Structure 1
Amino acid sequence: MRRATSCGFALTLGIRSALAALYTDASQLNKTYDYVVVGSGPGGSTVANRLSEDSSVNVLVIEAGGNPDGNVLAEAPWLAPGDLNTAYDWNFTTTSQPGLDGRSFSYNRGKALGGSSTLNFMVWTRGSRDDYDRWANVTGDDGWGWDKLEPYMRKAEGLHAPTDNHDMSSQINTTAHGTEGPLGITLPGYSVPTDARVLNATKEIGGQFAYNEDMNTGNSIGTGWSIVAQRDGARSSGWTSYIKPYLNRTNFDVLIGHQVTKVVQTGKEKNTPVFRGIQFAQNSSAPVQSLNVTKEVILSAGAAMSPQILLLSGIGPKDELSALDIPVVVDNEAVGKNMQDHALITNVYSVKQGMFTLDPVSQNATFAAEAITEWNQTRDNELVLNACNQLGWHRVNDSLIQGKTDPSAGPTSGHYELIYTDAFVSFTDALTQPAQGGYFTIFANVVSPASRGSLSINSTDPFVQPLLNPGILADDFDLVTMREAIKAGAAFANASSFSDFLVEPIGPYADAIKGGDAAIEAYAKNLTTTVWHITSSLSMTSEKSKDGALNPDLTVKGTVGLRVVDASAFPFIPAAHTQAPTYILAERAADIIKGKSSTGSSSTLSLALGISSDL
């Protein structure tokens, strides 16, 4: 049935309202729409919102998950890990990872309104100028370069004062950000003692660890404050920012609890298959339903689900489809390939007794309950933090790159990231929260991976999970980068500003950093997982290229009426937390669809950088 919203009442019996627009019953939908957007994550929420600005078209978003409203774990920033492995999570498991000595691990993706922006840690990093200029070169479209995308960065952003109303101008370049965009972004509104320690260490160590006033202005190298996607002390997501406030639009509908199972060919144009239909169902035992569109089907289901939908629809590598007796409609070897991800490892230090950390939230149920009650009332306590007040982007020594192809986009883009957290936080089941004591965590991430993974299927059942292979540490360069990142984090922790705070490294990390490079690499293989940033499984390339799954305008190569707007479209993963690049991509995608942003040549830029766009 139709859910009530703040703008109207729940209606049944198929009676339509000009106000409420959130459905659980597909029978109450229009018979057809101009656009159907599959998925409500950063990509889907953004493109659906912008398309529905035109009152002459009607837009439907279909989301497989439910409504997270009222779930404090999805709203209070510090509690973000609490929704992992729940009904709001797709609960994927990776394939065996050769780079991790055959280990597999759980892979978390958001299954709710807002997609993974309802589940993630809210870090807002645009990426570097070099990241986007590389996109422009690979696609042959300078519209994907930094200069042309910068207005879309601002368009998404709604920079506002943090919950404690402190002046941000000494921490970031406030003039570099948008203030009128739908997505709330801000700085941490709750200070902790480690803030000063981290910043003092940047002064002591200097070099590429030196303070960077704002890593979102084109050059990300250095250490600085972490901007977060929040508004009024609560998470800002695709749902809360781009969909929920706009459900009063009469041309904007949202259906939840239904999974799109395939896109459907509805004809041909000049011998090219047209896909203006979809099939969807509530679950594996529910009846399959169909719906057609007049303009486009837009896949925004994410870097795992969007390629799965294409494969199930007969769009993908011919041999893989034929092996499952799926009729081949479009033979495209790039579908599901070129997947990229950021490898992550958790490195933890014990803290001297009596020092402030945020560990009591996880260790003491009474403390946590009181903190939640206070947060619900004030939106102004430690729960407004998101797991890092500061982070840094860094490059390996040039000697490690000599004679090799540098996987980074360029000198303004890091090879690895370090994240500093005033508590024990782990991304692996191998490290569990100690029952007592205070801790300080340094996450090390490989953010310019040389490794590549893939997404494939071994069943024609859309409710069977795809084979998700992020390729973590599959390339030796990534293992070396992770080793150097771990060593850099240890060196940072040895700064004098931490001498009266930290006691010692704990767990396997302690033995690794005492044992030299070989021990660190073994430790990395044993405990590395991911920061859940899969991208590029439907990479866009130049229009004339025979490689790639998408054209520069994000249309699926060899089709009409079918487009992809999510992180699977990235040609390369940026050295950034991937939600910001996804919002940015989707903002431009909407203008491309509306005809306001033409796809054009980047030949001048390509020649300047010595990169061919004929890929």
Structure 2
Amino acid sequence: MRLTRNAELFTLLAFCHAVYAALYTDSDHLPATIFDFVIVGGGTAGCVVASRLMENPDVSVLVVEAGISNNGILGIQIPFLASQNLGNASFLWNFVTAPQPGLDNRTVSYARGRILGGSSSVNYLVYTRGAGQEYDKWAEITGDQGWSWDNLSKYYLKSSRLVPPADHHNTTGQVEPSAHGFGPVEVSVSGFPTEIDGRVVNTSKIPGSEFPFNADLNFGDYLGVSYLQATVGRGQRSSAATAYLDPVLSRKNLHVLINNTVTRLISSGSSYGKPSFKAAEFAPDASGAGLPLSAGLVLTLQPAKRGYIGTPQILMLSGVGDREVLTAAGIKPVVDLPDVGQHLRDQPRVENYWTVASNMTSDTISRNPDIFNADHTLWKKNHSGQFAASTANTTGFFRIPNDDPIWNNVSDPELDPNIAHFELIFDDGFSPTVDPLPPTGNYLSINTVLVSPTSVGSVRLASSDPFASPLINPGFLTTEFDNFALLAATKAARRFVEARFWEGFIIERFGSMGSAESDEEILAAIRQAVVTIYHAACTARMLPANASWGVVDLQLRAKGVSGLRVVDASVMPVIPAEHPVAAVYVVAERAADLIKGSWS
């Protein structure tokens, strides 16, 4: 099918939700051949931009998504089941990394959402905006104050709002309402308490604790222990799909095509002396012929593999990337842009386990079908109970102390005292990553996450086949700092549970991480335990004006190209030391304003 009009292409690495009459699986059934905006891939950013552009009733919007609809999938809607989503092959791209030298040449599962809603439909629900200094760093790198926190804070307020927890308990002291906005994404603290919540919080309130309590991690200063805030409203997941698109699906100017993958962009002529992309090919599967699709003023492109993987892949398949690499892959270079797919940053995580003197942890639910089904039935009845809460109720962001021996070996890559080095996530039960749930016992898991990694990786083409998996190399633990920082995080987790509030509850450390004693043993165990927390970014970085590096300019327009913008986590110049979904919402909200300005 061909949709015609002069086009500006613009990529979004995100995902989108659509049901009812606006949803199509066959392009022949689309009601028109011309759209003002075509958004290929409905993800976190894609849903935001589509919704905001549709605020003008005089424009038409088409969203093209490679994945299936998320409508009616309880595993996505139920917060407690979030950790199981990344094991469901029915709505994932089941990628695997290249062997990682920093992990003893292990490969790591790198699944990505292939479903409407994308990462916001399958992530772990944690919502953190981070410190304002994170965004100020973007402004400093790019030389554009439009990316500073003072100018982006309005988009944070515009994208989300605080709502009551599922059990409607009094949240005084657990959250600060003034830190929150008025946007469509619903955010709440847990609606189901666990037996470790009080122990975690009381440990942080010990006078002089190295793990101080923080009343609200979204108030600007996010260091310390806080009640975890999750994208949960009324006991169910709040995603970019449910928040941004569901309310406008009845509008006549929105159409959503699912189960169709964009295979490449098509360059046709030039504009302002640059190659102009006015069309894209898409197909329902690898056996289908690539059908040409032309867009209106803006074509947003997102092959539903999350921006930091899908964006560089589709750019390279379209001839935008390193000339030598493209030629070797049998692709005719259109624009020589060596930074495409480079500078990948991701946050490695490691689980630390303890056996506990309890029979009330979530392990009981995981093993006992009767209890699982009872909780499932309760959630379906009124969206309450344990299934209405995410898998963790508390978390904490910390810096490595200035007197830690780590600094004898490496220098601090993050000198701003307001930005964290690592995160501890407290889970009342066994959180399986490398190791499966043991057949017996009850457990405490503390997830240690390196949120300020210095290791750098890449995304490259494996072949010119658009349905072939790209070569993904996160470069995990290839710097001294990253190794020593995860070592410091592991020791911090161990010190945390030495507080008196854990006496009689903690029995002993468990597993290969638990049995490691010396620094060398812990580092060896870490190399065997690292997995991703699915927070990769920076593969299509914003560049300063007139810089020789980078992929997009300060308006998110692809460098050296006419008619193409990128809006997703890949454009971040550095990875934020937080869970990045809130930052993606912020980027997308600003991008929508930039696009509206260009349209007018």
Deviation of 1:597 after TM superposition, in Å, equals 13
2:461 corresponds to which residue?
Answer: 457
2:518 corresponds to which residue?
Answer: 516
Q: 1:164 to 1:276 in 2, by over 3 A?
A: same
One of 280, 283, 286 as aligned partner of 2:282: 280
One of 102, 105, 108 as aligned partner of 1:102: 105
- Structure 2 distance, partners of 1:198, 1:276, is 54
SS state of the match for residue 454, structure 1?
strand
* Residue pairs, 1:136-285, within 5 angstroms: 136-178=139-181, 180-204=182-206, 206-285=208-287
Paired residues of 2:108 and 2:532 also in contact (CA < 8 A)? no
* Residues 52-88 of structure 1: per-residue CA shift (max 9 Å, x gap): 1111211111111101222211111111122223111
1:382 corresponds to which residue?
Answer: 386
1:558 corresponds to which residue?
Answer: 560
- Structure 2 distance, partners of 1:214, 1:408, is 22
Paired residues of 2:261 and 2:283 also in contact (CA < 8 A)? yes
The gaps in structure 2 that reach 5 residues or longer are: 1-18
* Residue pairs, 1:362-511, within 5 angstroms: 362-398=366-402, 400-401=406-407, 406-408=412-414, 410-428=416-434, 431-511=435-515
Deviation of 1:406 after TM superposition, in Å, equals 3.2
1:546 corresponds to which residue?
Answer: 548
- Structure 1 distance, partners of 2:376, 2:121, is 18
- Structure 2 distance, partners of 1:373, 1:19, is 26
Deviation of 1:266 after TM superposition, in Å, equals 2.7
Task: Report % sequence identity.
Answer: 38
SS state of the match for residue 420, structure 1?
strand
Deviation of 1:557 after TM superposition, in Å, equals 0.5
1:321 corresponds to which residue?
Answer: 326
Deviation of 1:23 after TM superposition, in Å, equals 0.9
SS state of the match for residue 537, structure 2?
coil
Paired residues of 1:46 and 1:238 also in contact (CA < 8 A)? yes
Paired residues of 2:213 and 2:225 also in contact (CA < 8 A)? yes
2:534 corresponds to which residue?
Answer: 532
Q: 1:403 to 1:100 in 2, by over 3 A?
A: closer
Q: 1:43 to 1:409 in 2, by over 3 A?
A: farther
Paired residues of 1:275 and 1:297 also in contact (CA < 8 A)? no
Deviation of 1:126 after TM superposition, in Å, equals 0.6
1:14 corresponds to which residue?
Answer: none
Runs of at least 4 residues of structure 1 off by over 6 A? none
Paired residues of 2:174 and 2:215 also in contact (CA < 8 A)? yes
Letter aligned with residue 408 of structure 1 = E
- TM-score norm. by structure 1 comes to 0.91
2:352 corresponds to which residue?
Answer: 347
* Residues 233-270 of structure 1: per-residue CA shift (max 9 Å, x gap): 00111211111221111111111111111111132112
Aligned residues: CA RMSD: 1.8
Deviation of 1:344 after TM superposition, in Å, equals 0.2
Deviation of 1:518 after TM superposition, in Å, equals 1.0
- Structure 2 distance, partners of 1:577, 1:409, is 20
Paired residues of 1:259 and 1:280 also in contact (CA < 8 A)? yes
* Residues 91-126 of structure 1: per-residue CA shift (max 9 Å, x gap): 110011111111101112111000011111100001
2:45 corresponds to which residue?
Answer: 43
Q: 1:367 to 1:138 in 2, by over 3 A?
A: same
Letter aligned with residue 138 of structure 1 = I
Pair 1:92-2:98 in alignment: no
* Residues 151-179 of structure 1: per-residue CA shift (max 9 Å, x gap): 1001010211111112334212111101x
Paired residues of 1:40 and 1:238 also in contact (CA < 8 A)? no
Q: 1:150 to 1:519 in 2, by over 3 A?
A: same
Pair 1:22-2:26 in alignment: no
One of 23, 35, 59 as aligned partner of 2:61: 59
Letter aligned with residue 523 of structure 2 = E
- Structure 2 distance, partners of 1:435, 1:231, is 33
- Structure 2 distance, partners of 1:247, 1:510, is 50
One of 351, 357, 361 as aligned partner of 1:357: 361
- Structure 2 distance, partners of 1:446, 1:353, is 29
* Residues 279-315 of structure 1: per-residue CA shift (max 9 Å, x gap): 1111100121121112122234421111100000000
- TM-score norm. by structure 2 comes to 0.93
Paired residues of 2:275 and 2:560 also in contact (CA < 8 A)? yes
SS state of the match for residue 353, structure 2?
strand
The gaps in structure 1 that reach 5 residues or longer are: 1-17, 599-615
Paired residues of 1:472 and 1:529 also in contact (CA < 8 A)? no
Deviation of 1:596 after TM superposition, in Å, equals 8.9
Paired residues of 2:38 and 2:296 also in contact (CA < 8 A)? no
Paired residues of 1:78 and 1:387 also in contact (CA < 8 A)? yes
* Residue pairs, 1:104-143, within 5 angstroms: 104-143=107-146
Letter aligned with residue 390 of structure 1 = T
- Structure 2 distance, partners of 1:416, 1:519, is 20
Deviation of 1:408 after TM superposition, in Å, equals 2.8
SS state of the match for residue 67, structure 2?
coil
Letter aligned with residue 407 of structure 1 = P
Deviates more, 1:205-214 or 1:410-419: 205-214
